[in-house]
Structure 1
Amino acid sequence: KEITMVLPFIAYVLGQEIGEKKGSPSENLYRKEDAPRKTGLAGDHHNLRKPDPDTKNMASVTDKLEPECASRVWRQGIYGAILGGMASAVQNLYLREPYADSMGLVAHRNAEIAANSAKAGVSKTFVMAAACATFAAVECATETVRGKDDPFNAAIAGCAGGMVMSAPAHNAQATVLSCGAGAALMASLTAFSAQRISDPHSRDARLFSLAKPKNDQ
């Protein structure tokens, strides 16, 4: 039954990985003093100060990433809550178990089933929202700290999201397995989506080029 909660999480993350490109902004990366000095002396080009990629203006990048991270966290938390509610409704509709009454007839205790379904739905909706928000927060924080946008960030975030999803089980083995599975799955999906976007002939690359802001092109 728990597969009905995992599939929406996988579908959502795959969609947001293909639909948006996450990376550091390219504007204002170099300080003005990093620009080469213009002099009239011949041979002074040996003393020109070259911009160092490791000494970029990370303050401006971090300042821009912080609101983007916060926006991504609450937005994906809302999406996760919606997906969790939908998955819970489908699970309660098709996977509920009947019981046999004293007459041996199969029936459903409507009031009890409705109460249990509502309780389970709220719990699973919260777990799904927390997992998606955790994934977004950890991925964005890892990307900011490392200064790179690669599948390793998604692996760490996938591990964190998997641990959150397995938290209601209160089982250490399930937590470890969920961490490993989430890390492997999210890293694979991120690598696949990045490859699709980088291919100029792919449909995803064409869609991304249409959705990309003009100032980033």
Structure 2
Amino acid sequence: MTGRLTGKIALVTGGAQGIGRAIAEVYVADAHAVRETVDRVAAVHGGLDIVVHNAAAFSRDPLDSMPLDALERVLAVNLKACFYLAQAAVPHMKARGGGRLLVTSSITGPRVVMPATAHYAASKAGVNGFIRAAALELAAAGITVNGVEPGYIDTPAMAALKQRFGEEAIARHIPLKRLGRPEEIANAMLFLASDESAYITGQTIVVDGGSMLPESPVFAQA
């Protein structure tokens, strides 16, 4: 799909790891910082066509002992930042006659859940609601809003789960028998950012290797 976005100006949040990612998370959670960044990118490059909200906060905290700062951080980075980015980017997209607003959601929350992730699940379910509502409001301006729902993807964020359960044990319950690769999420995002997806809005694409297909993990091993 090389060349599909030629001439387009895109801003992607959360593109770093480690310290850089931590900075991105804090920065994306600040409404004023977000607006300043979006305005600066548009000014330097002459506009803005695509915004991808990919920064995410994740932690495992039991519901009955969840720290308030963990709850606020997850909701701010994962969900509130969608509003901050949209409000900052939409004027620039309207000036260009349209645009693409994309969000990394998750199958955790909208479709499945795991223990000790109620804050994360709620934030991602909220993201899907945001995608649909924003798509409806922004359609008349030629701005589409879509997302991708990854399953288990082999990223540094998966390290703790791999260490606790083992990669083979996790992959065993995925019909394709492996973790997803980051580029497989990127390719889905690339499609949604391209002209080929011009008539798609308010939708999410599940990229999970089929992990949600079995009624029970037992049947994934059949």
TM-score, length of structure 1 as denominator length: 0.31
Higher relative contact order (CA 8 A, sep 6+): 1
Question: By percentage of residues, which structure has more strand?
Answer: 2
TM-score, length of structure 2 as denominator length: 0.30
State the structure with more CA Rg. 1
